[in-house]
A and B are shown apart, each in its own frame.
Chain A
């Protein structure tokens, strides 16, 4: 077996990264401490700007759902040819995957849009009802698009199982995947874990500093830290339980 080569530059890079992070944290902390009154003011201003957009927060959601519907219809149109033509099969598969991507993004963004459009709207009940209505319509649209896309995917993958209206959908779908598809799911999950962990580590650190200097309530660092912990623990525990 080949001996692993040691690269001294790795240690230098590691120390430099720690020093830079400490410097950045120090500057940020000093800035937060020196501007204790400014930070809550900045927070209120940001909230004000976010609530200005109001119901327009729903516009990207409806654009994504429209785009998802268009690619879904284009993918479905290829289904009759996909049975014989390998190229049509691959194009249909890609278009239907894009439709699934749109439906996957729609639910979290829809809830975000609801929260943001509600900000500062308590004095305007009409806006609140409209926002709730827009969310309900988008959710119905999402579920219908998801169900129809899954039905279309089953035409080119007849071995696939699962009903989107069933709580066991993900498990049934996974169970009907073959070894190559499960490997792909594993690779995608690992990438998602890396992305989410990376984002949450930076967010938790920033919120931690802001909490230390009393710029924000401690609940925010608790929330971000708990999410980060959940991501790391669920990954590590799953890895541990898969060992014999």
Chain B
């Protein structure tokens, strides 16, 4: 099930590039790029680490679209 996210927008607002965000959360630039494009669903641990960097609740960074929400 595709997971949507606001990663690109939040990263730009913070002035971080993919490499810098990757270093902060322990992921590669390629993985950050895959998550942003929706080609990879991160684990709960990685998603929480990303949300912590942006100081946002998890649901504000990652969300399911209406029709996919149970």
**Are B46 and A157 neighbours in the complex by a CB distance under 8 Å?**
no
**Are A159 and B28 neighbours in the complex by a CB distance under 8 Å?**
yes
Q: Which single member of A83, A93, A179 contacts B30 (CB below 8 Å)?
A: A93
List of B residues within 8 angstroms of A177 by Cβ? 28
**Contact digits for A204-229, partner B, Cβ 8 Å, 1 yes 0 no:** 00000000000000000000000000
**Are B29 and A157 neighbours in the complex by a CB distance under 8 Å?**
yes
List of B residues within 8 angstroms of A159 by Cβ? 22-23, 28
Q: Which single member of B19, B23, B29, B43 contacts A179 (CB below 8 Å)?
A: B43
Of all chain A residues, the one with the shortest Cβ separation from B46 is A179
Of all chain B residues, the one with the shortest Cβ separation from A86 is B33
**Are B29 and A181 neighbours in the complex by a CB distance under 8 Å?**
no
- Chain B at the A interface: mostly helix, strand, loop or mixed? helix
- Report the minimum CB–CB distance from B32 to chain A (whole Å): 9
Among A187-204, those with CB < 8 Å from B are: none
**Contact digits for A158-202, partner B, Cβ 8 Å, 1 yes 0 no:** 110000000000000000011111000000000000000000000
A89 at interface, CB cutoff 8 A? yes
Q: Which 5 pairs of residues, A with B, have the shortest CB-CB distance?
A: A180-B31, A178-B27, A180-B40, A178-B31, A178-B28
19 other A-B residue contacts (CB within 8 Å) besides A157-B30, A179-B31, A180-B34: A83-B19, A86-B18, A89-B29, A89-B33, A90-B33, A93-B30, A156-B29, A157-B28, A159-B22, A159-B23, A177-B28, A178-B26, A178-B27, A179-B43, A179-B46, A180-B27, A180-B28, A181-B28, A181-B30
Query: Which B residues are closer than 8 A to A by beta carbons?
Result: 18-19, 22-23, 26-31, 33-34, 40, 42-43, 45-46
Query: Which A residues are closer than 8 A to B by beta carbons?
Result: 83, 86, 89-90, 93, 156-159, 177-181
A–B pairs, 13, beta carbons within 8 Å: A89-B29, A89-B33, A159-B23, A178-B27, A179-B42, A179-B46, A180-B30, A180-B31, A180-B34, A180-B40, A181-B28, A181-B30, A181-B31
